[in-house]
Amino acid sequence: MYYDGGQVWYGPLVKLRPLRWYDRIKTGPSPEDDALLQLTREIAVRLDSRFWYRQIVWGRFVRGGVGWMITMPVISREFWLGPLGIPLAELMFPEYLKGKLSLDDWRILIDMHLLRLKAFNSGRMSRLLGVMALMILGAFATLLILFYIFVGRPWGPILVFPASSAAILLSLLWVRRSLRTWEFELDGNAASQFGTEQVTLVLEKMQGLDPRATLSSLADRFSAFWSPSISKRMEELRDQRFVGPPRPSRMPKIGFRGRAIIIVLGVAIFWGSGVIAGNLHVRGQETIACVTNTCAALVVIAAVGYWSAILGALSMVPVVARRVRQARRKKKYQV
């Protein structure tokens, strides 16, 4: 028995089913695969995508994927290297779109897919989920303390769980609103590059081709609750609310030089606090008991400097890894 290109062969004649769901839904190639692969590579390099796409495939799928497409990483040596490597991937298109769109339409759809893939893998999604978890945990802890004080045992801890369901519901609705707004912003980014009319025309074509656009099943209605429908996305594009340059972030971005300055300042604060504490309190002693407010303040300042240097050094790791990956990509691949 051996494995060959998604098919499992047992002996010389018997062919078994593919092992992965991804291999089971694959279909035949298309004459425009080479042009689509070249187009995908150009867009991936421009958007600084994590993957280098090696192949275009087609598959029988309706749900799943990001923006009507599936990016499937290929297990390789570069995949395990993480940010330092350039992992390979395959891009799967749905079978119902084969031969239905022009190359310009595919350019917009691939750009929207890679934009969403990059956004979903960014720190913004992690921050969103982290804030939701903090909201739920904070509400649960607050209700637990209040019920314990005003209700007491044994009903206080029991009533916390049904009361915290309201906090969970509100946090889920907040996440839904944030995700929908995020979708509109990504559509606005595509419209800023290709034009609102072109992106709207592509979405109109997808509304007629995508089986999910009719909301005929319960799963489609549930998906539309979390992510906006195609008609809603076209309506937001026509309103021009999210079209234009991206809104500046409220949090300032700290570059490589700023992180290095934070590390130096953290080390200086930590070292300076130790020197001052040694001159004021140690005086030849090996160990001392910190009983004064000045000594406690120096300990706190030293801890702040210590952790600032540690966190600043850790934050530089992804920056350096990103620059190394970009240099490797430019050197290895020429599009």
Higher pLDDT, 158 or 207: 207
**pLDDT for the residue numbered 258:** 81
Per residue in 222-243, pLDDT (tens digit) is 777 778 888 888 988 888 776 5
- The pLDDT value recorded for residue 283 is 61
Predicted confidence at residue 61, as pLDDT, reads: 84
Residue 4 has pLDDT above 50, yes or no: no
pLDDT of residue 244: 55
6 band by pLDDT with thresholds 50, 70 and 90? very low
Q: Find the range with the poorest average confidence among 7-16, 46-55, 183-192.
A: 7-16
- pLDDT reading at 114 higher than 70: yes
- pLDDT reading at 2 higher than 60: no
Give 154: exposed, middle or buried? Use CB within 10 Å, 0-12, 13-18, 19+: exposed
**Both ends of the chain: CA-CA distance in Å?**
39
pTM > 0.85: yes or no: no
Residue 181 confidence (pLDDT): 87
Percentage of the chain with pLDDT > 70? 75
pLDDT, average across residues 158-169:
77
Does 12 have pLDDT greater than 50? no
Report the pLDDT value the prediction gives residue 247, as an integer from 0 to 100: 56
pLDDT tens per residue across span 187-199: 988 998 898 899 9
Predicted confidence band of residue 215 (pLDDT cuts 50, 70, 90) = low
**pLDDT at position 245, please?**
53
Instruction: Among 55-64, 153-162, 266-275, name the one with the lowest average pLDDT.
Output: 153-162
Tokens found for residue 279: 């001159």
Q: 94-98 long-range contacts, Cβ below 8 Å, gap at least 24?
A: 94/58, 94/59, 94/60, 94/61, 94/62, 94/65, 94/68, 94/69, 95/27, 95/58, 95/59, 95/60, 95/61, 96/62, 96/209, 96/210, 96/211, 97/68, 97/209, 98/30, 98/58
**Span 21-42, pLDDT tens digits:** 888 889 999 999 999 999 999 9
> What would you report as the CA-atom Rg of the chain, rounded to the nearest whole angstrom?
27
Judged against a pLDDT cut of 60, whether residue 328 lies above it is answered with: yes
Q: If you average pLDDT over every residue of the chain, what do you get?
A: 78
Average pLDDT over residues 298-322: 81
Are 72 and 22 a contacting pair, CB within 8 Å? Answer: yes
Region 267-295: mean pLDDT is 72
